[in-house]
Amino acid sequence: MFGWNGKLLHVNLGKGKAVADKYDAEMAKNFLGGRGFAAKILWDELKPGTDPLSPDNKLVFAGGPLTGFALPSSGKLVVASKSPLTWGYGDGNIGTFAAVQMRKAGYDAVIVEGKAEGPVILLLRDESAEFFDAKDFWGLNSFETEKKLGDLYGHTVGVLCIGQGGENLVKFANIVSQEGRAGGRPGMGAVMGSKNLKAVVFIGSNELPVAYPKEMKDLGMEAYREVLVKPNYAFWKREGTMSTIEWSQENSVLPTFNYSEGVFSKADGIGGFAMEKIKVSNRGCPQCNMTCGNVVKDSDRKESELDYENVAMLGSNIGVGKLKQVAALNRVADEYGLDTISLGSVLGFAMEASEKGLIKEKVPWGGFKGSKALIKDIAFRQGYLGNLLADGVYSASEELGKGSNRWAMHVKGLEISAYDCHTTPAMALAYGTCSIGAHHKDAWVIAWEVKAGRKGYTAEKVDKVIELQRIRGGVFECLTVCRLPWIEVGLELEWYPKFLHAATSIELPWQTLNVIGDRVFNLIRAFWIREYGKKWSPEMDVPPPRWFEEPLTEGSFKGAMLDRTKYDAMLQMYYQKRGWDERGIPRESTLTSLGLRNAAKELGGHVSLAG
């Protein structure tokens, strides 16, 4: 095989053993890598009903056939597991040297299972796997952990680690790398913590197997050049994702006060232009010439790397209007290894609960010091409120009751990323049907919808959501390369089959890639249904009641909200186009036509499948 290493590594922490397995070309061609491999491995190897925080759960690190080559933005890694937050499929995509080093060590994926007796660090150096006592590391934050490991092994090795959030099993703890890259929103850091795994260090020294080395070199150089000459490149380097704050504010979709509004009176203070004034440098993922991490000095004079989602969720959504303070909250989230989106959501939920008198703790909107203290309580599961919020917003609303589920902002248990959807039905559908719960990664349809017109609940919108789910949630997640060169500066999609051909010698036109996207999407859907069985319902694909019941009270869309009857009709249209029945369960014929006959058989043992 070219492009792929053809090898997976199974690591059992309980036994202190690592075993390499070969996989066949069929798996490579059918699932590509990254999310595709993770979904296939978790489907095949995980027993339904497994407790996500038990030793039986598996944590997958997976690259794709382009990962690590000198191609635009190819230093990404999928981290996946059964999620402790949602009890469904969970994953994230992290830019890290670990991606490159893992592939150079000879593996396309590493699967970690079992639980070490005490804190452990896993060192994967080419073919060897070593397990180190991590007692001296346990309790360190993610920055301290990386620094200490860097001092030991060099600062260019690949490190994935957890902070105290993961150690204390906060259900939205994520995995951190390179001081500010973070991935695995649905609690992949907690899964790592439950296994007593503080960090994984990857060191690889092999050449990646490439089918056509010269073609690969030339294409890479050409594509990097192409990125540099795109008209939006210079502005992207200045602001990265941060200009989305101004865009969201202008279009009334900036999550504000726990998603009750779409505009924030202090948005100017936290936007891209405000960020430019305090920016000190750019950081980025390996193999990337778009380096979009905006580093600023926060109010504690520490460095903090800002992105749109971090700033909207820890800014407007909780009423904080000073960027340096937002940056300080973002920095502690990175140190503890907590997902900033879920964190901003649970903080907003607590502020609203406090305002409504549902909890005795005082948590005022916009309170910076209080928020910082509460984040620490969450990371260490301290006190009633810290512990309550550490389980995520769904769980907190179940515990509090009193109608708080109407404004607990999640889908399937995963907190919603930073777009208010009172006025955007297609984006609401994208959240409703995303394969990990409410995330924008599969279909960031809102930019298109705002231009195309927000009002309708149309077939065209359903088609657009599916098209984006194929490309973004399917192909980019399986190739495991960053999608931003395409979305943000316009590197044409036609480059990717060419990259694949140079790496693997296989011709996979977009039509075939889209089928792979659908295969993976359906397998992940099957995973959710297998887990939930008879408890599965289309309600799980519906965003929270707030957007259907409480109209916006400010901005140019004052009075607007979603229509539940129309949303339900659009959801049924979506199911039909996907080849799913009215419950949202893939039909047997759909799974079979995607080459998932065995999955259909297995799923049929859990729920009845329509033909």
Nearer Cβ to ligand SF4, position 408 or 484? 484
Nearer Cβ to ligand SF4, position 67 or 371? 67
Look at strands 109-113 and 59-62 and give their pairing: antiparallel
| Amino acid letter, residue 85 | L
* Cα distance between residue 265 and residue 321, in whole Å: 8
Phi then psi for residue 415, to 5 deg, are -60, 150
Interface positions, 470-529, toward ligand PTT (CB under 6 A): 476-477, 482-484
Interface pattern 292-311 for ligand SF4 (x via CB under 6 A): xx------------------
CA torsion sign for 471, 477, 483, 487 is positive
Q: Which does 339 bind (CB under 5 to 8 A by kind): ligand SF4, ligand PTT, none?
A: ligand PTT
Q: Could you tell me if 478 and 77 are in contact, meaning their C-beta atoms sit under 8 angstroms apart?
A: no
Looking at 194-202, 246-254, 280-288, 575-583, which segment touches ligand SF4 (CB under 6 A)?
280-288
Q: What is the 3-state secondary structure (H, E, C) of 395-452?
A: HHHHHHCCCHHHHCCEECCEECCCCCCCCCHHHHHHHHHCECECCCCCCCCHHHHHHH
Q: Which does 586 bind (CB under 5 to 8 A by kind): ligand PTT, ligand SF4, none?
A: none
Interface positions, 108-167, toward ligand SF4 (CB under 6 A): none
Nearer Cβ to ligand PTT, position 76 or 454? 76
Q: Interface with ligand SF4 includes 284 (CB under 6 A)?
A: yes
User: What DSSP string describes 274-322?
Assistant: HHHHHEEEEE--TT-SS--EEEEE-TTS-EEEE-HHHHHHHTGGGT---
Q: Which does 184 bind (CB under 5 to 8 A by kind): ligand PTT, ligand SF4, none?
A: ligand PTT
Q: Which does 476 bind (CB under 5 to 8 A by kind): ligand SF4, ligand PTT, none?
A: ligand PTT
Interface pattern 333-372 for ligand PTT (x via CB under 6 A): xx---xxxx-------------------------------
Nearer Cβ to ligand PTT, position 106 or 187? 187
* Cα distance between residue 445 and residue 458, in whole Å: 13
Q: Interface with ligand SF4 includes 291 (CB under 6 A)?
A: yes
Of 71, 109, 121, 290, which one interacts with ligand SF4 (CB under 6 A)?
290
Nearer Cβ to ligand PTT, position 124 or 333? 333
Interface pattern 435-464 for ligand PTT (x via CB under 6 A): ------x-----------------------
Q: Interface with ligand SF4 includes 288 (CB under 6 A)?
A: yes
Q: C-alpha angle 331/337/342, rounded to 5°?
A: 90
Interface positions, 159-198, toward ligand PTT (CB under 6 A): 174, 180-185
Look at strands 197-203 and 120-125 and give their pairing: parallel
The nearest distance, CB 331 to ligand PTT, in angstroms, is 9
* Tokens matching residue 486: 């395409």
Number of residues that bind ligand PTT (CB under 6 A): 31
Looking at 30-38, 282-290, 382-390, 557-565, which segment touches ligand SF4 (CB under 6 A)?
282-290
Interface positions, 89-108, toward ligand SF4 (CB under 6 A): 95
Catalogue the long-range contacts made by 391-396 (C-beta closer than 8 Å, 24 or more residues apart).
Answer: 391/171, 392/85, 392/171, 392/172, 392/342, 392/346, 393/342, 393/345, 393/346, 393/349, 394/85, 395/171, 396/346, 396/349, 396/350
With a CB cutoff of 8 Å and minimum separation 6, the contacts of 581 are: 575, 587, 609, 610
Where residue 289 falls (left for φ over 0; alpha for ψ -120 to 50; beta otherwise) is: alpha
Q: Which does 284 bind (CB under 5 to 8 A by kind): ligand SF4, ligand PTT, none?
A: ligand SF4
Interface positions, 301-320, toward ligand PTT (CB under 6 A): 305, 307-310
Under DSSP, the state recorded for 534 is: G
Q: Interface with ligand PTT includes 94 (CB under 6 A)?
A: yes
Burial class of residue 350, CB neighbours in 10 A (0-12, 13-18, 19+): buried
User: Residue 278's closest CA among 299, 248, 247?
Assistant: 299
Q: Residue with the closest Cβ to ligand PTT?
A: 92
Interface positions, 463-492, toward ligand SF4 (CB under 6 A): 482, 484
Q: Interface with ligand PTT includes 285 (CB under 6 A)?
A: yes
Q: What is the 3-state secondary structure (H, E, C) of 215-271?
A: HHHHHHHHHHHHHHHCCCHHHHHHHHHHHHHHHHHHCCCCCECCCCECCCCCHHHHC
The nearest distance, CB 286 to ligand PTT, in angstroms, is 10
Nearer Cβ to ligand SF4, position 291 or 387? 291
* Cα distance between residue 212 and residue 504, in whole Å: 8
The nearest distance, CB 463 to ligand PTT, in angstroms, is 22
Where residue 433 falls (left for φ over 0; alpha for ψ -120 to 50; beta otherwise) is: alpha
The nearest distance, CB 291 to ligand SF4, in angstroms, is 5
Q: Which does 290 bind (CB under 5 to 8 A by kind): ligand SF4, ligand PTT, none?
A: ligand SF4
Interface positions, 32-91, toward ligand SF4 (CB under 6 A): 73
The length of the chain in residues reads 611
* Cα distance between residue 383 and residue 203, in whole Å: 40
According to DSSP, the residues that pair with 90 across neighbouring strands are 81
Q: Return residues touching ligand PTT (CB under 6 A).
A: 76, 92-95, 174, 180-185, 241, 285, 305, 307-310, 333-334, 338-341, 441, 476-477, 482-484
Q: Return residues touching ligand SF4 (CB under 6 A).
A: 73, 95, 284-285, 288, 290-293, 482, 484
